[in-house]
Amino acid sequence: MTTALDDARKHAARVVTGELVARLTRGVPGSGRTACHSPLTGERLAELPESTVEEVAGAFARARTAQRPWAARPVRRRAAVLLRFHDLLLRRQDEILDLIQLETGKARLHAHEEVQAVAVAARHYGRKAPAYLRPRRHTGSVPLLTRVRQLRHPRGVVGQIAPWNYPLELSVGDALPALVAGNALVMKPDTETALTALWARRLLIEAGLPEDVWQVVLGDGPVVGRAVVEHADYVSFTGSTATGRLVAQGAAARLVGASLELGGKNAMLVLQDADLDKAAAGAVRSCFSSAGQLCISIERLYVHESVADAFLERFTARTRALRLGGGLDWGAGMGSLSSQAQLDTVVRHVKDAVANGATVLAGGNPRPDLGPYFHEPTVLDGVTPAMAVCEQETFGPVVSVYRFTDEDEAVERANATPYGLNSSVWSRDARRARRIAARLHTGTVNINEGYAAAYGSVQAPMGGMGDSGLGRRHGAEGIHKYTEPQTIAHQRVMPLAPSFGMDDRQYARFMSGSLRVLKALRFR
């Protein structure tokens, strides 16, 4: 009888061939060797080049040389590369879905969320980049006499450090606006999910990106990641809050900008007038997509006491019904965790909660029969602040349930965290839900959805408050952060100084009168 592990090994051997690895790693600097592993088996998936600090410097040098002619291309030609990439991605999505599953262990539907997100970003910036980057005219200090034009220049070479949990979306998804803005890129993906990022790079090159414009370096974060920060003209980082602080310090020491999307302890509020069936289904998606290894997934459920029992009956039934699986096919409700470290955190948080009096309403156990890092989706009740799971980010398929009595209490408890990434409100009353949403201290709030509505709306900014990070991805902010704005002011006829025979006092009176007139004419 074949086991799930046997099937996973067969899939890995079929998908990750020596020919594929050689093609994806061509041009990646690495005098050393490292490896990535599949969480579906715990075994080595591929051997990869490992970069030295000197090789990181060389990658930046090549990127700087390639960046100048890339930036000289008209923005519409750069944007056309993104639109071709969009089409190639959708056409060849089965290839990347297999790789994402093998490298992360997530269910195929959750892997497809990454394809959707990247396609949307490619379409958006492929269409909107010319408008976001076009020169703009502004009112000058003296209208008609002062003409002001604002330009946006690429920063140069962006250093990007991408995480393991969403290896397609959080690598190429963040790279697209940086590249279309005219920058080159040196990326350090997580080694364990590097094949996905390397596949995306090859596809973008196939779409027309010059090869040296996007460099990839591989290796340990404290060595290679630090070297990326030390050379970059701007840093894009997604990862833990602790590491994000170090990245921010490194960028600040060099006076270069940085955007950081960090951790979260995201809350979902189920109000007493919520549609409980829809809320329960939404909670399953919000808590257990990618086995909870999603920065914007829900880890805290606040449910009005009058509907708590009815909601939990629906929610726990749906949670228990989730089918766990590690096959490269459709139908599994949840996949594996990505590593032993993630499984250890989940087990520790659940055991600590139970030992201190919490009740397991669903799940609660590892599933080594399915693979080395599988764990059941778990719902905890009776969680108190003394338990680690209450305030610490679990980053796994574990959610804690809390009851509240009124709107003010729900908002106060949801906001009682240093994090501020994402939140969710469920109610049939749209006005009430919007009022509560505006009071939540998170960068995105979803109404009658967990995370996908806000994240998928790429014309709007997405990012965190507090310990959840700095800066935003998506929309205008998501591309403007990769540019340096430049103001060019052309003064005509007379200077902004005494002239035409005026002395200082006469000039001051003239300007004071002009300012009053400009206000009366409603100039801004």
> 467-485 pLDDT, tens per residue?
999 999 999 999 999 999 9
> Contact, 111 vs 104, CB < 8 A?
yes
What mean pLDDT is predicted for residues 433-455? 98
Give residue 523's pLDDT band: very low, low, confident or very high (50, 70, 90): confident
Among the residue ranges 71-75, 360-364, 435-439, 492-496, the one predicted with the least confidence is 492-496
Residue 305 appears among annotated catalytic residues: no
Dihedral angle computed from the Cα positions of residues 286, 287, 290 and 291, in that order, rounded to the nearest 10 degrees: -170
> One of 261, 376, 393, 449 is an active-site residue; which one?
261
The confidence score (pLDDT) of residue 190 equals: 98
Retrieve residue 214's tokens: 């996007």
Retrieve residue 417's tokens: 């965290």
The helix (H) or strand (E) run that includes residue 422 is strand 422-426
pTM of the complete model: 0.96
What mean pLDDT is predicted for residues 195-224? 98
Residue 261 appears among annotated catalytic residues: yes
The confidence score (pLDDT) of residue 7 equals: 84
132-143 pLDDT, tens digit per residue, is 999 999 999 888
CB-based contacts of 505, cutoff 8 Å, min separation 6 = none
Check whether 57 has a pLDDT greater than 80.
Answer: yes
The confidence score (pLDDT) of residue 312 equals: 98
Residue 31, judged by CB atoms within 10 A of its CB (0-12, 13-18, 19+), counts as exposed
The confidence score (pLDDT) of residue 1 equals: 55
State the average pLDDT for the chain: 97
Check whether 288 has a pLDDT greater than 60.
Answer: yes
For 155-278, strand residue ranges (E) read: 157-161, 184-188, 214-216, 234-238, 257-261, 266-270
Nearest in space to 193 (alpha carbons), one of 172, 217, 166, 164: 164
Pairing of strands 419-420, 465-466: antiparallel
> One of 36, 287, 295, 390 is an active-site residue; which one?
295
Residue percentage of the chain with pLDDT more than 90: 96
Retrieve residue 295's tokens: 């920065």
Check whether 422 has a pLDDT greater than 60.
Answer: yes
Q: How far apart are CA 163 and CA 111, in angstroms?
A: 15
Check whether 6 has a pLDDT greater than 90.
Answer: no
Count of beta carbons in the 10 Å neighbourhood of residue 433: 22
What mean pLDDT is predicted for residues 374-389? 98
Amino acid at 248: A
Residue percentage of the chain with pLDDT more than 70: 100
155-181 pLDDT, tens digit per residue, is 999 999 999 999 999 999 999 999 999
Check whether 247 has a pLDDT greater than 90.
Answer: yes
Among the residue ranges 4-18, 248-262, 279-293, 295-309, the one predicted with the least confidence is 4-18
Nearest in space to 446 (alpha carbons), one of 268, 264, 265: 268
The helix (H) or strand (E) run that includes residue 16 is none
CA distances in angstroms from 201 to 37, 196, 376, listed in the order given: 20, 9, 34
Retrieve residue 379's tokens: 């719902």
Amino acid at 442: T
CB-based contacts of 299, cutoff 8 Å, min separation 6 = 264, 265, 266, 267, 287, 292, 393, 394, 398, 399, 400
Check whether 227 has a pLDDT greater than 70.
Answer: yes
CB-based contacts of 82, cutoff 8 Å, min separation 6 = 122, 123, 125, 126, 129, 176, 179, 180, 207
> Contact, 23 vs 206, CB < 8 A?
no
Q: How far apart are CA 390 and CA 384, in angstroms?
A: 6
The confidence score (pLDDT) of residue 366 equals: 98
Q: How far apart are CA 262 and CA 170, in angstroms?
A: 12
Phi, psi of 260 (to 5 degrees): -135, 120
Retrieve residue 67's tokens: 């960046």
CB-based contacts of 341, cutoff 8 Å, min separation 6 = none
The confidence score (pLDDT) of residue 3 equals: 79
> Contact, 263 vs 396, CB < 8 A?
no
